[in-house]
């Protein structure tokens, strides 16, 4: 008699940022088994070409499959934007990227004026705009690349005066467009949520792609057989540097053992 195979969620990101998705997963599904891969040796993905993002993302997925993943979460907004469809076509297992669920939540909750912030790659791809319009044809979408926010979040400069100033200047062009909803389209931005909300105004609805993708994962897992195996939580990095572990433990508020992903 075979035991039901427990779902093993493989989560990848260009680096440490996807741990915001792991954090959400830990809160919503504390007993879920997962393997995390941060491709920090090749980070950032945010300024790279589509060809390279697709190649790196496929290598990340191959690694997670080799470790036993039965479903994949593309935590990285840039990888979701530039390689999400490609991965869905290439692989047989379920692929959950962040763009579609975040676009759906934004379209459904918005009166029609949606702002999107993200890396240059994500914004340049137009993926959010396209996905939002799939859910709400009449929506107007205003986008802004905010490349300086990733290093600020990694330095934990969440409420420094410099960070507030930079956020204000990035959000100003969206503010004048009278958006009613704003998608935090990068793994790191939910860490700056308070600050972003303060600058954009309390009436603007913020959409966190990490929350939205985990909602979809929760629905999917509810349809899967319950396994009985012991919980597995593994963290890999392509460069298991001390700083990765330090940042990760600070964000997750739990200890992690970081192993080297060799591929």
Applying CB under 6 A, which residues contact ligand DGL? Answer: 13-15, 17, 43-46, 76-78, 118-119, 122, 150, 186-187
Q: Quick one: 73 or 76, whose CB is closer to ligand DGL?
A: 76
From the candidates 21, 64, 186, 247, give the one annotated as an active-site residue: 186
Write down the least CB distance from residue 84 to ligand DGL, Å: 12
Q: Are 46 and 14 in contact (CB under 8 A)?
A: yes
Write down the least CB distance from residue 97 to ligand DGL, Å: 11
Q: Quick one: 6 or 35, whose CB is closer to ligand DGL?
A: 35
SS (HEC) of the chain: CCCCCCCEEEEEECCCCCHHHHHHHHHHCCCCEEEEEECHHHCCCCCCCHHHHHHHHHHHHHHHHHCCCCEEEECCHHHHHHHHHHHHHHCCCCEEECHHHHHHHHHHHCCCEEEEEECHHHHHHCHHHHHHHHHCCCCEEEEEECCCHHHHHHCCCCCCHHHHHHHHHHHHHHHCCCCCEEEEECCCHHHHHHHHHHHHCCCCEEECHHHHHHHHHHHHHHCCCCCCCCCCEEEEECCCCHHHHHHHHHHHCCCCCEEECCC
**Residue in the shown chain whose Cβ atom is closest to ligand DGL:** 46
Q: Quick one: 150 or 207, whose CB is closer to ligand DGL?
A: 150
Write down the least CB distance from residue 18 to ligand DGL, Å: 6
Q: Quick one: 14 or 143, whose CB is closer to ligand DGL?
A: 14
Q: Quick one: 186 or 191, whose CB is closer to ligand DGL?
A: 186
Could you confirm whether 76 is annotated as catalytic? yes
Write down the least CB distance from residue 17 to ligand DGL, Å: 4
Could you confirm whether 146 is annotated as catalytic? no
From the candidates 74, 76, 106, 200, give the one annotated as an active-site residue: 76
Task: Compute the distance between CA of residue 227 and CA of residue 40 in angstroms, rounded to an integer.
Answer: 32
Q: Give me the active site residues, please.
A: 76, 186
């Amino acid at each position: 008699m075979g035991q039901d195979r427990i779902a093993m969620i493989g989560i990848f990101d260009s680096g440490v940022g996807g741990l915001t998705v792991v954090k959400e997963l830990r809160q919503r599904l504390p007993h879920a088994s997962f393997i995390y891969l941060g491709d920090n040796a090749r980070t950032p993905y945010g300024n790279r070409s589509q060809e390279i993002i697709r190649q790196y993302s496929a290598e990340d997925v191959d690694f997670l499959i080799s470790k036993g993943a039965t479903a994949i979460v593309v935590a990285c907004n840039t990888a979701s934007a530039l390689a999400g469809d490609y991965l869905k076509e290439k692989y047989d297992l379920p692929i959950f990227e962040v763009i579609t669920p975040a676009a759906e939540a934004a379209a459904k909750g918005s009166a029609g004026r949606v702002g999107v912030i993200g890396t240059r790659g994500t914004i340049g791809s137009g993926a959010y705009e396209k996905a939002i319009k799939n859910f709400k044809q009449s929506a107007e979408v205003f986008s802004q690349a905010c490349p300086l926010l990733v290093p600020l979040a990694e330095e934990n400069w969440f409420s420094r005066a410099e960070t507030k100033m930079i956020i204000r200047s990035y959000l100003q062009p969206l503010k004048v467009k009278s958006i009613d909803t704003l998608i935090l389209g990068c793994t790191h931005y939910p860490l700056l949520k308070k600050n972003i909300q303060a600058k954009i105004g309390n009436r603007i609805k913020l959409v966190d792609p990490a929350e939205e993708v985990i909602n979809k994962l929760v629905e999917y897992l509810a349809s899967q057989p319950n396994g009985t195996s012991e919980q597995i939580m593994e963290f890999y990095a392509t460069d298991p540097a001390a700083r990765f572990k330090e940042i990760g433990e600070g964000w997750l508020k739990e200890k992690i053992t970081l192993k080297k992903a060799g591929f």
